[in-house]
Structure 1
Amino acid sequence: MSTKPFKVQAVARLLATTTDTVRRMVDESGIEVTRQETGPRTRLFSVENIFELARYRANRRGRNTKKKQVVATVYAPKDGVGKTTLASNFGTIFALKGLRTLIIDLDLKASLTLSFGYDSELTCEEAIEAGISQTRIVEYHFGNLIPDYPAGRVTLEEAVKRPYGECGPHIVPADLNLDRLDTMLTYETIEGRNAEHILANLLKEGLAKKDRHFDVSDYDVILFDAAPGKNRITSGALFASDYVVSPVSMEKFSTKALSYLSNVLSEMHDQFERSPELITIGNFFDPNRVRVLGQLITTARTYGGSWLDASIRRSEDFAKELTDESNLPLILSKPNSQAAAELRQSADALLKRMGLVG
């Protein structure tokens, strides 16, 4: 996917290192980086180059050895709290850390899919007519990876998208047809089977390299972006996850939504004797608003054990990201912004909570 090239200063910011270290890694790794054709022979990094350097650094540090694998779901009971924005940016930051990251869009609206440049509404004919690459068409979704899926099963390799190359985050897109999976899981429930186990068994077999259609054994992080509310797909993702990451809007009253989620997890644990660990993160934080501070105090007091020690302030950059045609998450489109800095800080805290960094 073609994007505007990055200069070494931006690459250093994205990789949380120095420009000298970036130049040294390029020389050591042999990664091919183009140079400006006129004027100073400045290196111009593609987005793929950045993720290649991130993977090279991780491998050099020994992250290619056996490590912990984590499955997490980004979920909020109601819409409008920044769930998909956090999922796309966190997944991208994880890959910038050199972690092999798979992001699975489970929301029929496919906002996350679109944020990475794939239009779920685009047909082959429309792409040809508009001169758009066929790679931007969504052919398969997560439902197509489920055993006995009515529309037919494909392999992960056929379904996955790689917007920034092999070393960047991998995406399983979504479209409206994902609703068929929810229908399938509903029938399973009606017939007296635990539909939640279907997704959990899929992940278990895939992580153990026992399912050739869904081999996810090489990934460090599998991140679901679940739809708001609660459907069968979301319930299955939650049951299959080690963690549920729930953004809490600090400019709205979110205590009822959090109480609902807490009850959902408690009921899941009572029924199946397992549930994901809850991690809550404050979003749209404005320390100058009295009500926001009251919301923060109340939430932290009630859900202190789950509260992530990092918050993200409201920023116009997030609103601009939704209308940006660069097909880049904010962390890549505005790496020097305050919003990007807070996203990195929150992602670091999240990785530490999930035990993926020391």
Structure 2
Amino acid sequence: MQTQIDSNEQDVSNFTDFTTLLYPPQFAADCLGLTTRRLKDIEEENDIQIRRVPRGTVTSRAYTLSDIFTIASVRRAKGHTKSLPRQVRLSTFVQKGGTGKTTYTVNFAIYAQFCGHRTLVVDNDPQGDTSSVFGYDPDLELEDLADMGIPADRHVNGHLGNLLSPDLRVRCFEEKSFDQIVKKPFGEHGPHLIPADAYLDDLAVALDAENNSDFWYASWLERAINGEINGLDLSSYDIIIFDNAPTASRLTKNSIVASDFVICPVRMDKFSFRALNRLSDWMVRFSKAYRRSPGVLAVPTMFIRNRKRIMANLMLLNDLFPGRVTDEKLYYSEDYGKALDLGIPLIVWKGASSKTIEAMRMVFSETLSRIKNLVL
């Protein structure tokens, strides 16, 4: 990882070159839910070349993230992973900041891809936090990247508004192709990203001028999946996940109208519960107004065991969303902040404790299981 300071010595940008991160066989196997023996067999059966690095007097295999995603892709192609019944669209949303929404989105996308599900993340928040965690700082221009020694391909040069622009009456954005905008932080076989920047706010203004202004994402997705948009085919993705700002904006409403499920990471505190109560009421009104009722899944985050107040809040959460709260929880850990400071998604940070990563994997596994059951 490199940390560069600009000429004013005021702004610091953490840049992690994901291609340089190397992982031992056990970590790679754990990412894929395999034994190290089975991992090696897959490499030999498919002629996948893994670099070797010195370790004492011998050498051992060292995996890049691209290697691990490639192996996941091979397993999918051979039918060794369980597929989803159909494409699933998700939105992460809760009307409260600081609940772990972006952390959930980024790490779940990586986990889903490890499981063999082709995943597209759409950063639907003008702040662009999801884009930043994936390594694309929306505030940096090309000259800034050059000054900091960051590759030019980390430049954010478009967002969802550029893809919708051809059909909008108010043309706020230059028309661009999907290939010009999409980012692939871990290579072709990793999760893909439609990034965001502050100009995404203008898309809400443009949508306000349209008929059926909350249905544009849904319509665009349907046409993109059915091959009705030249040069754009989203049918190959198994999961499309929108990460939203903590406000019920025009952009957020569009993503939820287009989604099958709303994922709500929530802290066990009174402020988050007020937000959930507002969300519950909002979803009832949403269902009546739009005649759509996406599934809701609440995920307890920053959970601390054996705290009476937290356990009481968990009971209230289950009363508020009966049957729609994950049994597994994301537990409080300093690992989250450390991984964020390093610019590495926690689920692929070697420095994280095994308990933190395992809890995250269990939450994501339960999420996928619930999604599969509900779309059958």
Is the 8 Å Cα contact of residues 156 and 215 (structure 1) preserved in structure 2?
A: no
Alpha carbons 2:91, 2:244 under 8 Å: kept:
yes
Q: Distance in 1 between the 2:317 and 2:43 partners?
A: 45
Cα deviation per residue 1:136-175 (whole Å; 9 max; x = unaligned)? 1100111111133421222221111101111111011111
Query: Who is 2:229 aligned against?
Result: 211
Structure 2 unaligned regions, length at least 5: 1-17
Q: State which drifts further: 247-256 or 162-171.
A: 247-256
TM-score normalised to the size of structure 1?
Answer: 0.93
Contact 2:269–2:310 (8 Å) recurs in 1: yes
Q: Aligned residue for 1:144?
A: 162
Q: How does 1:52-201 map to 2 (within 5 A)?
A: 52-61=70-79, 67-146=85-164, 147-148=167-168, 149-188=171-210, 193-201=211-219
* Alpha-carbon displacement from aligned partner over 1:246-265 (angstroms, at most 9, x marks no partner): 01101444332112112222
Paired position in structure 2 for 1:328: 344
Structure 1 Cα separation of the partners of residues 338 and 331 of structure 2: 15
The Cα shift of 1:63 comes to 5.8
Say yes or no: does 1:32 pair with 2:49: yes
Q: Equivalents in 1 of 2:273, 2:53: separation in Å? A: 53
Relative to structure 1, the CA distance from residue 145 to residue 24 in structure 2 (aligned partners, 3 Å threshold; closer, same or farther) is same
Q: What does the per-residue CA deviation read over 1:284-324, in whole Å, with 9 as the maximum and x for residues that have no partner?
A: 11122111011001111221121122111111001112211
Secondary structure class of the residue paired with 1:210: coil
Q: Match for residue 340 of structure 1? A: 357
Matched residue of 2:319: which SS? helix
Number of residue pairs aligned between Structure 1 and Structure 2: 352
> Could you tell me how far apart the structure 2 residues matched to 1:99 and 1:179 are?
30
Length-normalised TM-score, structure 2: 0.89
CA–CA separation in structure 2 for the residues paired with 1:16 and 1:276: 30
Distance in 2 (CA, whole Å) between partners of 1:322 and 1:182 is 29
Alpha-carbon displacement from aligned partner over 1:112-138 (angstroms, at most 9, x marks no partner):
111111111111112222222101110
Give how far 1:62 is off: 5.8
Partners in 2 of 1:66 and 1:337 — Cα distance?
Answer: 28
Gaps of 5+ in 1: none
Tell me which of 303, 311, 314 is aligned to 2:321.
303
- For the residues of structure 1 that align with 2:314 and 2:82, how far apart are their CA atoms? 39
Q: Out of 221, 229, 235, which is 2:253 matched to?
A: 235
Deviation at 1:36, TM superposition (A): 1.5
* Structure 2 CA distance for partners of 1:55 and 1:264, relative to 1, 3 Å: same
Q: Is the 8 A contact 1:251 1:285 kept in 2?
A: no
CA contact (8 A) 1:311 1:346 kept: yes
Give, in angstroms, the shift of residue 220 of structure 1.
0.2
**RMSD (Å), alpha carbons:** 1.9
User: Alignment identity in percent?
Assistant: 32
Q: Look up the match of 2:3.
A: none
